[in-house]
Amino acid sequence: MPKPRIEFWYDFASTYSWLSAIRVEALTRNVDCDIAWRPFLLGPIFKAQGWTTSPFNLYPAKGRYMVRDIARIADARGLVFVMPDPFPANSLTAGRLAIAVGNDHIGDFTRRVYEVQFETGADISQRGTLEPILQAMGLDVTAMIAASETTAVKDTLRNNTAEAQSLGIFGAPTFVTADGELFWGDDRLEQACAWAHKAERA
């Protein structure tokens, strides 16, 4: 029987996606699921609902709560959360690079980008942040940067974002099961895995 597959939709600037990105691979392995890494951009989706920035900036009470909520969860998991400035980071380059590195490396790249951003506060819009990650992974930095600037890669990220919007995704992380169910938030990851198995058996 094939393993049930969960799509993990994320924007690199999303704090709650950090919490998922660093545990999703171990968790899905434990519960015998496959994972599809689906980077996209929240910006165009926010813009379509009239927002010019993250709701965490538009609604300061919500933003303050998010920082505290993330810090508490991180602490419970033995992590240290460092809020980057500016927030949200421009995640375009990171999103394109995630596609450029290919299926074999996207999980590792994604995790490293989130870690440097939310565990050390680095600005992931900067090449100076992203290039050392490619290098540490043993990838050809120049080739990867060049690939990330091709029309094919740009189109893939744009298409991902359009697909996210058409799926009804409005925030990140969102987990999508094969039968089209959406689960929004790191706190729904376990539920998404259980659902994927249930759908598989149905």
User: Which residues in this chain contact its own copies in the complex, by CB under 8 A?
Assistant: 49, 58-59, 61-62, 64-65, 68-69, 72, 168-171, 181-184, 187-188, 191, 195
Element (H, E) at 68: helix 60-76
Instruction: Give dist(CA 21, CA 10) in Å, integer.
Output: 8
- As measured in angstroms, the least distance from the Cβ of 120 to its own copies is 26
Cβ atoms of residues 164 and 43 within 8 Å: no
Cβ atoms < 10 Å from Cβ of 50: 7
Smallest distance, Å, CB 191 to its own copies?
8
201: number of Cβ within 10 Å? 7
CA distance 105 to 99: 9
Residue 54 or 129 having the CB closest to its own copies: 54
**If we measure between CA atoms, which residue out of 194, 173, 191, 195 comes closest to residue 8?**
173
Nearer to its own copies, 1 or 76 (CB): 76
Closer CB to its own copies, 107 or 171, in the complex: 171
| CB nearer its own copies, residue 132 or residue 185 | 185
CB of 31 to its own copies, least distance (A): 17
Nearest distance from residue 114's CB to its own copies, in Å?
22
